[in-house]
C-alpha cells in the first residue's frame, strides 16, 4: 500500500475511512506545525534537504530519497504491516490473540507507556534545535535534520495511538505533548535525560549513540506488546531509529579518527592546539551520556515493570527469541546493588528485574560501538582505550543514586568525588573548548577541523553532494 502525499496527513491506517479520528488529528496538526516552527531546527524552513521519506512500509518503499523543502515536510502515520493471527508472546495472556483495541482494565497503564515514549520524541528535537547553526558539514546537517523530522514523526505515531484509542484523555495527552518543553522549569519533559542540553555536536553524536539507543530498547520492548497497534507503530519506528544510532556511532568515530590523525601527524597528545578534540575529553563525554542514558531504564527493582510484563503491555528485548516460559513467575535474575561499599550481585525475581535486564541488554549493545571506536585508535598505533563507565557511576536513579562511584565502579567518598569528578565528567572548560570549535562549515565536501570526513555519502551520493540547499 503506497502512501498518498497529497493527503494532509499521509498515512497507511486508512484515516479517510474514520472521519472522526481524521478531524481530531487535523485539529492537532496546526499546533504541531506551530511547535515545529517555534522549537524545531532554527532557521531551517527555507532549506531544501536531501531527506529519506517513507512512501510505503514495504521493504524498499520506506526509504525514498529526494530534496524536500523543510517548510513542506509532511509527517505521516505509518504502521508496520499487520501480522496475521498474531499471538501474545508473554505474560498472563500468553497465547491469546493480540488486542486490536485497548482492554479497559489496562487503559491507564498503556496510556502512561505511550505518553512516556511519545514525550521523548519532540524533546530531542527541542534539545537539538540550535545545532544546525554550527554544522561541521552539509552531510552532517542533513543527518541532523533527518533525525529531527523522524523524531517529529515518532511523536505523530504516539499521538495517533492516543487519539485513535484513548478518547478524550488521549486528546488531552496529545495536546500536553506540545505544552511540555525540554528544560522548561515549569513544564519540563517527563524524563530527565530529555531536559539536558545538547549544546554542541559532540554532545549530539553522543546523544544519538547512547540516548537514541535507549529509545531502541524501549521501542523494541513495546514492539512485543499485546496491544497490536502499539507493536506495529514501534516496529516501524525501529527501522528509522537505526539511522539515528548510525549517525551517533559514525559521528563519534570520526571525531576520534581526527584526534588520532593529529596525534600521529604532529607527534603530540595536545590535539587541541590543532583544533581537534582530545581522547580524554571524548572519554568524559562518553561517561556523561552513558550514565544519564542508563538512568532512563528506571529502578533496578520495579513492580511497575513487573506489572507491565504480566499484563502483556511491555515485553523484554527480543522476547520471542528468549528460551523460557515467558511468564517468569518463578524465575530469577542477577541484579547489581551496593552493600557495605561494594557492588554485589544477588538473585532477584526476574519479573521485578525486567528493567535491569533491559539495561543489561542495552549496555552490551553500547559496548559494540565502543569496540569499533577502539579499533580506530588501535589502527592508528595509539595506546588509549575508550571504556564505558561502570553502571554505578554518576547515577541519579536506582540503587546507585545514593552513592558516589568512580568510572571503574569503586565506591568513593563525597570528598573524593568532588576532587575527581573533573577527570571523569566534562568540565566547564572542556565544554567551553568544544564550543569554540562549533563553527558552521557549509561548502559542499568541506568538513570542520575537529572531525574526519564521512567514509561515504548518503544513498550512494558523493561526499561533496549538496545535501542541503540554503536558498538565501
Choice between 124 and 287, CB closer to Fe ion: 124
User: CA-CA distance, 336 to 279, in Å (whole number)?
Assistant: 30
- Name 343's bridge partners: 338
Cell 484513548, located at residue: 166
Asked if 268 and 259 count as a contact pair (C-beta separation under 8 A), the reply is no
Structural contact between residues 70 and 145, judged by C-beta atoms closer than 8 angstroms = yes
The percent of the chain in helix, strand and coil, each rounded to the nearest 5, is: 50, 10, 40
Nearest to 294 by CA among 233, 230, 362, 241: 362
- Closest separation in Å from C-beta 193 to Fe ion: 13
> What's the rounded Cα separation, in Å, for the pair 135 and 143?
10
CB of 5 to Fe ion, least distance (A): 21
Here the cell at position 136 is 561541521
244 touching Fe ion, by CB under 5 A:
yes
Give me the least distance between CB of 241 and Fe ion, in Å please. Answer: 5
Shortest CB 212 distance to Fe ion, Å: 4
Closest distance between Fe ion and the C-beta of residue 102, in Å? 22
| Contact of 229 with 153, CB cutoff 8 Å | no
Q: Whole-number minimum distance, CB 180 to Fe ion, in Å?
A: 16
265 burial type by CB count under 10 A (0-12 exposed, 13-18 middle, 19+ buried): exposed
404 is an interface residue for Fe ion by CB under 5 A: no
Q: How far is the CB of 159 from Fe ion (least distance, A)?
A: 13
Binding residues among 162-221 for Fe ion as defined by CB under 5 A: 212, 215
- Whose Cβ is closer to Fe ion: residue 246's or residue 274's? 246
Site residues (CB under 5 A) for Fe ion, limited to 136-155: 151, 154
Dihedral in degrees, nearest 10, Cα atoms 399, 401, 403, 404: 130
Of the pair 208, 281, the CB lying nearest Fe ion is at 208
Nearest CB to Fe ion, comparing residues 238 and 441: 238
Q: The cell 540547499 sits on which residue?
A: 469
CB neighbour burial string for 123-156, b if at least 16 within 10 angstroms, e if fewer: bbbbbbbbbbebbbbbbbbbbbbbbbbbbbbbbb
121 or 126: CB nearest Fe ion: 121
Which of 286, 211, 200, 199 lies closest to 241, judged by CA?
Answer: 211
Phi, psi of 213 (to 5 degrees): -70, -35
Reference 177, options 198, 160, 192, 165; nearest CA is 160
Nearest approach in angstroms of CB 115 to Fe ion is 14
Stretch that binds Fe ion, among 21-29, 240-248, 265-273, 285-293 (CB under 5 A): 240-248
Separation between Cα atoms, residue 91 and residue 342, nearest integer Å: 34
Site for Fe ion in 86-125 (CB under 5 A): 121
Residue with smaller CB distance to Fe ion, 117 or 283: 117
Query: Nearest distance from residue 428's CB to Fe ion, in Å?
Result: 28
C-alpha distances out from residue 454 to 139, 448, 457, Å: 8, 12, 7
Task: State the nearest-atom distance from the C-beta of 260 to Fe ion, in Å.
Answer: 28
Residue number with CB closer to Fe ion (137 or 146): 146
Q: Site for Fe ion (CB under 5 A): how many residues?
A: 7
Closer residue to Fe ion, CB minimum distance, 165 or 213: 213
By CB under 5 A, the residues from 339 to 368 that bind Fe ion are: none
Instruction: Report the side by side order of strands in the sheet with 48-53.
Output: 64-69, 48-53, 468-469
Question: Which residue, 238 or 380, has its beta carbon nearer to Fe ion?
Answer: 238
Q: How far is the CB of 109 from Fe ion (least distance, A)?
A: 21
Nearer to Fe ion, 134 or 233 (CB): 233
3-state secondary structure of 300: coil
Residue closer to Fe ion by CB (options 247, 438) is: 247
**Contact window for Fe ion (CB under 5 A) among 15-23, 26-34, 111-119, 242-250:** 242-250
Distance CA 113, CA 102 (A): 13
Residue 235 interacting with Fe ion (CB under 5 A): no
What SS3 class is residue 467? coil
Looking at beta carbons only, is 154 or 357 nearer to Fe ion? 154
- Of the candidate spans 235-243, 246-254, 268-276, 368-376, the one that interacts with Fe ion by CB under 5 A turns out to be 235-243
The whole-angstrom separation of Cα 278 and Cα 181 is 33
Minimal distance, residue 208 CB to Fe ion, in Å: 7
Binding mask 3-32 for Fe ion (x = CB under 5 A): ------------------------------
Applying CB under 5 A, the residues found at the interface with Fe ion are: 121, 151, 154, 212, 215, 241, 244
Amino acid at each position: 500500500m503506497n502512501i498518498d502525499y497529497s493527503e494532509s496527513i499521509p498515512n497507511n491506517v486508512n484515516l479517510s475511512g474514520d472521519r472522526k479520528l481524521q478531524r481530531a488529528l487535523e485539529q492537532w496538526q496546526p499546533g504541531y506545525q506551530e511547535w515545529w516552527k517555534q522549537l524545531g531546527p532554527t532557521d531551517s524552513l527555507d532549506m531544501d534537504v536531501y531527506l529519506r521519506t517513507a512512501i510505503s512500509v514495504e521493504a524498499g518503499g520506506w526509504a525514498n530519497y529526494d530534496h524536500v523543502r523543510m517548510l513542506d515536510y509532511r509527517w505521516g502515520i505509518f504502521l508496520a504491516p499487520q501480522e496475521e493471527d498474531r499471538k501474545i508472546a508473554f505474560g498472563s495472556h500468553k497465547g491469546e490473540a493480540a488486542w486490536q483495541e485497548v482492554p479497559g482494565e489496562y487503559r491507564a497503564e498503556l496510556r502512561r507507556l505511550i505518553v512516556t515514549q511519545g514525550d521523548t520524541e519532540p524533546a530531542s528535537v527541542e534539545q537539538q534545535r540550535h545545532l544546525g547553526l554550527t554544522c561541521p558539514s552539509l552531510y552532517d546537517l542533513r543527518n541532523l535534520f533527518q533525525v529531527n523530522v523522524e523524531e517529529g514523526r515518532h511523536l505523530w505515531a504516539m499521538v495517533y495511538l492516543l487519539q485513535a484509542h484513548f478518547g478524550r484523555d488521549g486528546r488531552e495527552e496529545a495536546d500536553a505533548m506540545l505544552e511540555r518543553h525540554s528544560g522548561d522549569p515549569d513544564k519540563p519533559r517527563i524524563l530527565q535525560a530529555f531536559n539536558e542540553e545538547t549544546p554542541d555536536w559532540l554532545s549530539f553524536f553522543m546523544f544519538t549513540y547512547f540516548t537514541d539507543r535507549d529509545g531502541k530498547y524501549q521501542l523494541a520492548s513495546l514492539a512485543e506488546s499485546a496491544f497490536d497497534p502499539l507493536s506495529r507503530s514501534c516496529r516501524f519506528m525501529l527501522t528509522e531509529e537505526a539511522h539515528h544510532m548510525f549517525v551517533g556511532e559514525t559521528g563519534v568515530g570520526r571525531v576520534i579518527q581526527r584526534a588520532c590523525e593529529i596525534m600521529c601527524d604532529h607527534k603530540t597528545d595536545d590535539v587541541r592546539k590543532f583544533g581537534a578534540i582530545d581522547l580524554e575529553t571524548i572519554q568524559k563525554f562518553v561517561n556523561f551520556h552513558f550514565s544519564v542514558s542508563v538512568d532512563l531504564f528506571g529502578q533496578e527493582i520495579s513492580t511497575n515493570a513487573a506489572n507491565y510484563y504480566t499484563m502483556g503491555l511491555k515485553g523484554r528485548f527480543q522476547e520471542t527469541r528468549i528460551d523460557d516460559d515467558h511468564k517468569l513467575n518463578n524465575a530469577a535474575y542477577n541484579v547489581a546493588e551496593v552493600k557495605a561499599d561494594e557492588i554485589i550481585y544477588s538473585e532477584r525475581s526476574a519479573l521485578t528485574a525486567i528493567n535491569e535486564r533491559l539495561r543489561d541488554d542495552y549496555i552490551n549493545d553500547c559496548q559494540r560501538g565502543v569496540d569499533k571506536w577502539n579499533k580506530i585508535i588501535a589502527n592508528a598505533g595509539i595506546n588509549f582505550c575508550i571504556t564505558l563507565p561502570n553502571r554505578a557511576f554518576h547515577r541519579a536513579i536506582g540503587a546507585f543514586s545514593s552513592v558516589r562511584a568512580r568510572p571503574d565502579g569503586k565506591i568513593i567518598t563525597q570528598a573524593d568525588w568532588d576532587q575527581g569528578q573533573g577527570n571523569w565528567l566534562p568540565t566547564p572548560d572542556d565544554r567551553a573548548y568544544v564550543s569554540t570549535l562549533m563553527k558552521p562549515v557549509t561548502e559542499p565536501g568541506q568538513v570542520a577541523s575537529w572531525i574526519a570526513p564521512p567514509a561515504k555519502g548518503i544513498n550512494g551520493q558523493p561526499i561533496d553532494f549538496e545535501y542541503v540547499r540554503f536558498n538565501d
